[in-house]
Amino acid sequence: MRRSIKFWMVTAGFCSCMTAWAFECSDAVKARARDFIDNEKQFHLGFLPTEQSNPITATLEEDFNRSTLAGVQCLQRADRQIPITMRHVFAGERFEKLVASMEKTLKAPKGRIIFSGCGATGRLSILLESMWRDFFFRRAAELSPAERALADRSASIMTGGDFALIKSVESFEDSMAGGERQAAALNVGEGDTFVAITEGGETSSVLGTLRYAAAHGATCFLVFNNPADLLRRYLDRCREAIDNPKVTVLDIYCGPMSLAGSTRMQATTSEQLLCSCALEAALGRVLPRFAKETASDYTVAFEKLLSALESPAARKEIADAIAYEKALYARKGRVTYFVDDCMLDLFTDTTERSPTFMLPPFRSTDEKNLAQSWAFVKNPLYPTLKCWDALFHREVRCLEWTEADYAAPGMPPMKGGKPPLIGRSSLMKYPIGNEDTPERYTGCESAAIIVRAGKQDQEFESAARAQAANYGTVRLFAVTPTDSSPLEIWKHLAVKLTFNTLSTGTMAASGRVAGNWMSWVSISNKKLIDRGIRLLVELGGISYEEAAQRLFAASEWVESQDWTGKETPCAVQIALKRLKDEGHQ
């Protein structure tokens, strides 16, 4: 029995705009749909478990309608799938091979441990490099000059460059050639340990970086969260990578996501657990005196963290935060998180909200015509330029590609015939530091939420409260890690797990989830287009071809309208609304 269609229109004037729009499947729309069906089969991913509904969270929407606490409990159930898989992974020879390769790289005169990812795993790759570098910054007094030099022995590739950390770069993940070019720019090659991380195992750009790394002599690993045999059977690019004798595969499949297709959830969490533990194990072998600070059993330590987050007190704090944010957004209010040493973790969460739930992305100082993001992240201790230095402990790596670069075969397309503005100068226009941003608190209800991760830092909290003085409400949200470690693994995982639940729960409680499906998904790349089509099939009971036509027709209408200063509506929701109007149940 298919689900009945439900709709939640929150954009001002949205319904009145839609009444003037009729479903018209033009020849151009039919041709676009037919092209996607016939020629983009490598992006038809409904067969992958990470794209399917998880039966243990099937009641997610119903649970949040019943109570916020019940919804939190439902979301957290899926996290318990992770240690079941990871216990075997940590005991396996491939994990040991990964750690040994990292150790060998670090003990050699040169070579780097390089992580590569896209979207959530791209932000994870940056986080892993930052965690490594931050250890040598925090513990500098305990290290010799030669030991401190190890800080530069890690690097990362984010599809779309560092700019994509805070704003999704459309279409880049579909390009293997773009990934290869980014790997070439980093001079990946002999002596490097290269770890490609892709949530579902099929991201083209990440596989492009892996192909380049393997061809140029790096010791290569591929980490993903879907059954390898499925990927090999259906997707050519995956078969090429998995069958490459120069690549060691770590398939850490742990079941479908708590929210269907939202691979920032359990897939990326398990990958963060795996890679951060491997990196810390390698650190302990190279600098043995720090090994005693590392967990003796990673799975047990992770289970301890899950138990702490499932405690009545922790669940209540998360549920209260969800209820507060839901009510604030319903009143068109805005949240600004103030955070310091877990700022990258908050970027990962808040940036992912935009494509997952069709929310306005972060707005730069040049984009005053765009709607304000519902949530933003700021560091009250430093101005923006210094903030990036404190985050990365390295130079910013943005893409400064020219029109000629984009014109090369297989490269990401240019919108409007011009390269996208994703260079360093563009990144610096997002005021993430302690500059005053009156647009976050003027003309609307506003909340400043001070995020404390671990021990209280009086300097940070004093600076945050001073910055938050102009906001309507100031709240403290504390995340407490269960253990300490050299790379602060458990603090970063505690923040990730907590905000996964908080942000997804807020959207579920706000009606942006149908069952346990994301029904407000952006269609900004081919994988998301397929996901939107399959959602119309699931909720509307129509064929894949008809769903594709309806989605492209809705997208064409959205693109034809002027949304200056407004939130751009969701094409999937427009298509669903039309289905409802026609009597589909």
pLDDT in tens, the chain (585 residues): 344 444 333 333 444 344 334 456 788 899 999 999 999 998 998 898 999 999 999 999 999 999 999 999 999 999 999 999 999 999 999 999 999 999 999 999 999 999 999 999 999 999 999 999 999 999 999 999 999 999 999 999 999 999 999 998 888 999 999 999 999 999 999 999 999 999 989 999 999 999 999 999 999 999 999 999 999 999 999 999 999 999 999 999 999 999 998 999 999 999 999 999 999 999 999 999 999 999 999 999 999 999 999 999 999 999 999 999 999 999 999 999 999 989 999 998 999 898 889 899 999 999 988 899 999 999 999 999 999 999 999 999 999 999 999 999 999 998 888 899 999 999 999 999 999 999 999 999 999 999 999 888 999 999 999 999 999 999 999 999 999 999 999 999 999 999 999 999 999 999 999 899 888 888 888 988 998 999 899 888 899 999 999 999 999 999 889 888 888 889 988 998 888 888 765
pTM above 0.85, yes or no: yes
| Helix (H/G/I), strand (E/B), else coil: 44 | coil
- Long-range CB contacts for residues 84-88, cutoff 8 Å, separation at least 24: 84/254, 85/252, 85/253, 85/254, 85/270, 86/252, 86/254, 86/270, 86/273, 86/274, 86/298, 86/299, 86/302, 87/299
Dihedral of CA 535/197/499/274: which sign?
positive
pLDDT at 23: 53
Domain ranges of the chain: 14-53+518-581, 68-394+421-481+491-515
pLDDT at 473: 97
pLDDT at 585: 55
Q: What does the block give as tokens for 14? A: 């949205």
Q: What percent of the residues of the chain are helix, what percent strand, and what percent coil, each to the nearest 5?
A: 55, 10, 35
Query: Distance (Å, rounded) from C-alpha 459 to C-alpha 474?
Result: 17
pLDDT at 520: 87
The H helix count followed by the E strand count for the chain is 24, 11
pLDDT at 231: 95
Class of domain 68-394+421-481+491-515: alpha beta
pLDDT at 455: 87
CB 281 within 8 A of CB 101: no
Query: Distance (Å, rounded) from C-alpha 77 to C-alpha 93?
Result: 29
The DSSP H or E segment spanning 114 is strand 113-117
Q: For 93-246, list the strands marked E by DSSP.
A: 113-117, 154-158, 193-197, 219-224
Residue 321's contacts (CB-CB under 8 Å, 6 or more residues apart) are 477, 502
Strand order across the beta sheet in which 473-479 lies: 375-378, 334-338, 446-453, 473-479
Query: Distance (Å, rounded) from C-alpha 249 to C-alpha 259?
Result: 26
Q: What does the block give as tokens for 369? A: 């015509």
Euclidean distance between the first and the last CA atom of the chain, given in angstroms as a whole number: 10
